[in-house]
Amino acid sequence: MSREKSLPYRPCVGVMLVNHRRQAFVGKRIDTKEGDWWQMPQGGIDEGEEPMQAALRELNEETGLQSRHVSLIAQTREELLYDLPRELLGKLWGGRYRGQRQHWFLARFTGQDSDFNLAAHDPAEFCDWRWVDPEQLPQLIIPFKAQVYQAILDEFRPLI
């Protein structure tokens, strides 16, 4: 068995945040040097943290939104997995993981666009943000995560 296949998946959460116009939030990662990739808020689950707690914390850290600005609607039925491409193995997360296993949440944005504050957490993760048609999500994310975004979209589409 190769070393990569023996590595575990990093426990993670993500939030598909939609507004009243049925558009999804995406942010442009501040650390992306190649490509024009946009993603939904996501991040690791801390020790002892429940996935829903982690989702709200990550949403706050990456967007500045407080829990009063969102209403959770659903969670994916199963965790979604992705593997890192070979060129990123050993470079991310201290080389401890082969990819991520993610719990995704669908949330309705109940605030105003002025409630977003990308600089609320230091260091910031996003340098820009926008609302997009959810059908665009798999084309906006870095290609190795596109299958996960398609699965999220397929599961949440009826609820958006």
H or E segment at 58? helix 51-63
Q: What angle do CA 53, 51, 108 make, to 5 degrees?
A: 70
Instruction: Give me the residue label for tokens 């991520």.
Output: 100
DSSP state, 14?
A: E
Mean of pLDDT values over 90-115: 90
Q: How far is CA 65 from the centre of its chain?
A: 15
Q: Using the predicted structure, report yes or no on whether residue 89 has a pLDDT greater than 80.
A: no
Mean pLDDT of the chain: 93
How is the chain split into domains, by residue range?
3-159
Listing DSSP states for 68-91 in one string gives GGEEEEEE-SS-EEEEPPGGGTTT
CATH code of the domain occupying 3-159: 3.90.79.10
- Of 109, 125, 20, 14, nearest to 65 by C-alpha is 109
pTM exceeds 0.85 for this model: yes
pLDDT of residue 93: 77
Taking 70 as the threshold, does the pLDDT of residue 98 lie above it? yes
Compute the average pLDDT of residues 75-100.
86
CB-neighbour burial class of residue 28 (10 A; exposed 0-12, middle 13-18, buried 19+): middle
User: For the purposes of burial, counting CB atoms within 10 Å of the CB of 74, is it exposed (0-12), middle (13-18) or buried (19 or more)?
Assistant: middle
* Three-state secondary-structure class, residue 153: helix
